Structure formats: C-alpha cells, structure tokens
Amino acid sequence: MDTPLVELDSDHPGFRDPEYRRRRDEIARLAAQHRSGDPPPRVEYTPVECETWKQVFERLAALYPSHACREFNAVFAALAYKPDAVPQLADVSAFLQERTGFGLQPVAGLVSARDFLSALSNRSFCATQYIRHSSQPYYTPEPDIVHELMGHAPMLAIPEFADLSQRIGQGSLGATDEQVECLATLYWFTVEYGMVRERGQLRAYGAGLLSSFGELEHALSGSVEVRPFDPWEAAKTPYPITTFQPLLWEVPSIAAAFSRMNEYLSAS
C-alpha cells in the first residue's frame, strides 16, 4: 500500500472521508511524478468534483461584472471556462505562456514561502490540481484548483500583474528569512488581496478575493478599511488567515502596484 502523501488537519472538511483522502493522494502523486518542463498532467475529474466546481464557478461568475477589475473580466471571458467541467491545468498554462510567458507548475499542496517566491522569479506559478471537499463547496482551508484557476490564472495573463508577481519573486532570491516573510506579506496584500480603484470605484484584483465570493462581497461592502498601498507599512502589518480581511490596500492601477513594489525592493 502506498504511503499517504497528503496530511490533513483534523478540522479539514475531508479529514474523515477516506475516499477524498485517497483522491488527494492520487492527484498529489501526479504532481510528484511531474518532470520540470513538461506540461502539467491531466486529471480526469469525477462527477462529484465537477459539481463542486460548478457550484463555486456560478456563484463567483455572477459577482465578477460588479466586483472584479476590468482586466480580470476581459481575461476571464477569453479563458471561456465552462461551468460543467473543471479546466485542465495544462490548457490554462498554455494560455498563460502565450499571453505573458508564465507557466503553471503542479504541486501536491502548500510549498514554503521561499520555494513559492523563487518559482515566481522564473515566471512559474506553483498550482494545485485537487479540489475542495464537496461538503463545503464555498470553503477551503488551503489553495485548491478553484483558487488557482478562478483567482490567479486570469490575473497572470495580464502583463502588469505577471511582472508584479515575478518582481516579488525576484526580491526573495538571496533574501534573509525575515525579508522573505516581509515579501510573503506583501504578496498577500497585493497578489492575493489587492484592490484597485477604477473610475472612483473599488474593484478586486487579488486572487484571494476573486476566488472567494464571501471575501469578494465583504471587500466591497464598505465595512473594510482600505488604505493607499504603502509597501513599507504593509510589509509589517499582520493579517488574519481564518477570518475575512479587516484591512486591504488599494492602488490606482496594477502598474502602480508594480511601481511601488519596485521602489520597495530597490531600496531594500
């Protein structure tokens, strides 16, 4: 019998589901066997997994026109995801390669901040292929393929966003553990939870917002403190990981976020 690759915490929705745990290991082994430079392996998603994707897809897609930034909405339309089938990482990676030179690198689960940022420096994004547990389709305690493909992938097709991601990754090369922690925090407040003001209206560009309808609605509810993005201040600001974000940072454009990050990294 194969040794399990994936360890789930006792409060994970799939902890007591042996079939889900078997499936997580099956998909994790595909990532573990993947050879660098090859297209991501294809996964034959089950009807249950496709139904989970559909539930989240339809709820998020309904919010995007009024909550997501215009660049995201343009790419989301071009990707032409279907509600009834989980997209393949290989197909989306090829789309990104053509648009911005970014590729999706399959991983079994969470990787260290240093390894994740190092991959970004080479325009490679570490992406999972499993999907959240069907009992809680609108919640996941970790990144899954919904988060990767609904949140990150469309934004990585935007040149300014792809450059921002790579620049943060480049800043981690040779950095101390403390500096990597600061960069991971900045990644959180920009790539994951960034806001942009378009024609006077706040819109989301961060993947953590764009892949969670709860976070997305909360971010634009008017009950969240939103500050102009200051990387020096943001890098030292703590944030919760189990509740909605109480503080977000806005930029006038994604290019402005890249410019501010470049200033920060050049001065570090």
Q: How many CB atoms lie within 10 A of CB 211?
A: 24
pLDDT per 10-residue tile (average), the chain, 268 residues:
77 93 95 92 97 97 97 98 97 98 95 95 97 93 95 96 94 95 96 96 96 95 96 96 94 94 89
pLDDT of residue 79: 98
pLDDT of residue 1: 47
pLDDT of residue 6: 86
Distances (CA, A) of 48 to 59, 88, 193, 233: 17, 16, 29, 44
Calculate the CA dihedral of residues 228, 234, 237, 241 and round it to 10 degrees. 90
Work out the angle at residue 162's Cα, subtended by the Cα atoms of residues 160 and 164, and round it to the nearest 5 degrees: 70
Give the up-direction half-sphere exposure of residue 147: CA atoms within 13 A in the CB hemisphere: 24
pLDDT of residue 163: 94
Structural domains present in the chain: 18-267 (1.10.800.10)
* pTM of the full structure: 0.93
Name the strand (E) or helix (H) holding 75: helix 70-79
pLDDT of residue 114: 96
pLDDT of residue 3: 67
pLDDT of residue 47: 97
Catalytic center residues: 147, 152, 192, 211
